[in-house]
Amino acid sequence: EVQLVESGGGLVQPGGSLRLSCAASGFTFSSYGMNWVRQAPGKGLEWVSYIGTTTSTIYYADSVKGRFTISRDNAKNSLYLQMNSLRADDTAVYYCARDWIGHCSGGSCYSGFDFWGQGTPVTVSS
């Protein structure tokens, strides 16, 4: 059974740092790209960051670029998000999600986020 379990969330002051973790099990972690997605209270989903199967491919949303760093340890089946210079508008539930390629045809591969963790809440407040 595929499982993604986030941890590391909590209350932090503005300007502070936090490191989120996502422990993966039930699949070959090293074979999948992974994402972080967040959801502010009462708001919609916001994609945060993507990391490929190796660390050579990494993308960030503009809202977190330069402040957040995504990483992974395939030996530990773990995904991380280092969050620095946190602001009040970073307050959200943070989810890790597996990037799954559904099928490829004609040179195009179509994907979706097929498994998600339960989320870990992050509150940035003084």
Binding site for other proteins (CB under 8 A): 35, 37, 44-47, 50, 59, 61-62, 95, 97, 100, 102-103, 108, 110-114, 116-119
For other proteins, the closer CB: 16 or 116: 116
Classify residue 95 by burial, with Cβ atoms within 10 Å: 0-12, 13-18, 19+.
Answer: buried
Are residues 115 and 98 in contact, defined by beta-carbon separation less than 8 angstroms? yes
Q: What is residue 70's DSSP assignment?
A: E
CB of 109 to other proteins, least distance (A): 9
For other proteins, the closer CB: 92 or 97: 97
Q: Which residues contact 115 (CB under 8 A, 6 or more apart)?
A: 2, 4, 97, 98, 100
CB of 38 to other proteins, least distance (A): 11
CB of 102 to other proteins, least distance (A): 4
For other proteins, the closer CB: 16 or 53: 53
Beta pairing, strands 33-39 & 92-105:
antiparallel
For other proteins, the closer CB: 13 or 118: 118
CB of 57 to other proteins, least distance (A): 8
Q: Return the H-helix or E-strand segment holding 103.
A: strand 92-105
